[in-house]
Structure 1
Amino acid sequence: MILTVTPNPALDVTYRVRALEPGESHRVEAPVVRAGGKGINVARVIAQTGGHALALATAGGVTGSRLSADLLASGLPHELVPVAAETRTSIAIVDETESHATLLNEAGHPLSVTEWEHLGEAADRLSIPAQCLVASGSLPADAPEGFFASLVAIARDRGIPSVVDTTGPGLVLAARAGANVLKPNRRELAETTGESDPLDGAAQLIGLGAGLVFVSLGEKGMLALSASDPSRPIRARLDTPLRGNATGAGDAAVAAIASCLVEGVRDPSAILSRAIAWSAAAVLAPVAGELAPGFAQLERRLVVTPA
């Protein structure tokens, strides 16, 4: 079982328009509304691909009730820590003509010290049967910067690998805690490390203590750098870029990475291949947390080169 932890989940609302015209009124069909947040999306993808995942998250207020109801209806195994603050909403507007999405992500309300303690205790308890721990997403305002690092420590104590997908101080502290895998995207990496070159940014995280760093590069694929062989970074991409809704692409890549670790796959090239294939399949899916059919065949279209 893969345990995913999402401290700052969201109720995802996805609208589709023929063409998004800023400043204009748009008539739309009813949106797709579902429980979201990076870790929940990761768990959905793992379940879709035949794996076992349990999503741990917080939930509060009316929005939290809707998030809980959707998770129950979906059948996705989960546990929600009750909080006083209203769960945030995330809005995606998909432009069908240009094949891109515009996102409006609320920051998320602060949690109390006690609520953070309850979330950490739940992660510790649920990690006992887990084979991998995934910590994903943003942290709400006033969150303890070391929360993701504490999850890395829990995984280490249980003897299971950890995967962290976040940004800012949380990413740095997770690296220092010895996270097995970090998976920022290019923008998040640059904002966190101050390095415009993703290879330099990845090397900085490796130097802090991370085992593997995968950097999403959008249409240019993904970069991988390993602490075991830092002189041989690798890069891979599809033979031709895909167009669609990239909202959940990074989460699909994290799901691929975690599934490889559970299967005992440690070769960065093999992990990278699955991560890019699943990420590409997510771009072709209508909403985050899903893969389009034929995701396994996309690995055959990869172009792998030294970085």
Structure 2
Amino acid sequence: IRLHKQNEWLDVHTKKLNILRSLNKLCSSTKQTPRLISSVKNLSKRTLSENEIKALENGLDYVYPSLRFDEETFISNIETCFVTVLGRTTDKCDYDEKDSDEDVIYNMSPTQLKFANKMRNICDSFRYNAKRVLSKFHSNIASIMKTLKNLAKDKSIVITKPDKGRGIVIMDRNEYLTKMNSILSDVRTFKEIKQDPTIEKEDQLTRKLLQLKNDNFITVEEYKNIRPTGSQPGRIYGLPKIHKVGNPLRPIVSAINTYNYKLSLMLANKLEHLRKSVTLILDTFSFVKQLHELKVNTDEIG
């Protein structure tokens, strides 16, 4: 029976592989013009200009470079690098106390002087090229930033991301609030409370953590890391399901800065090793990597 099943499965998968190979040859022989899909989905009544679409296409996580060369950080990093490689060049450390009008006495060896001169030339060249590149892109980035600020000022729309995948979704604020209120009105899931219990919950958890510390169940360092301070209630928001009719919202509750948020992070780190499994696939990329690394015995392929 086992041998029969093995041959049966082998025949089925062989047929599937042959079909996939045929389709792959057909697709490779047919030249198709690539279709560009915009990452911006506009569900609002506002008409977006071409500049606004271009400004949004990079996504919500994209960070535009600074238009100003950070001179202070640059000098600090170079000085740290110099001292790390060749040692101190002054009579005192940076953290030593000295009067405001006290002169700094430099005492550099010939090796340090030679290296300092070479490093200064490199830094001057780097600074010049960096400022030239920043000035080159200044007008373009400044225009994009102005466009994004104007979009942020429009209170009639909500700019968010889709429930699945990456990109940007723009919704009318009234539609967004209506759908969120409809979700919150579901008494089977949510219940209205008369007062905010955050401070009370924070006090209860703090007392419990203090007891665990005194009992040596957790360390002093762990207690400091997970003790809640300035806690806030959880916040809810919705992500539109643009792949479904009507674009319903998926409610997401953000627990950041809640009274037990730090505790949950510590527990997640301590329990993470229990989730590791040889059959667990993190994402599509890891799955493809495992397929490439898979060693197949050619004798088992029919």
State the TM-score, normalizing by the size of structure 2: 0.21
Q: Greater share of helix residues, 1 or 2?
A: 2
Q: What TM-score results when the alignment is normalised by the length of structure 1?
A: 0.21
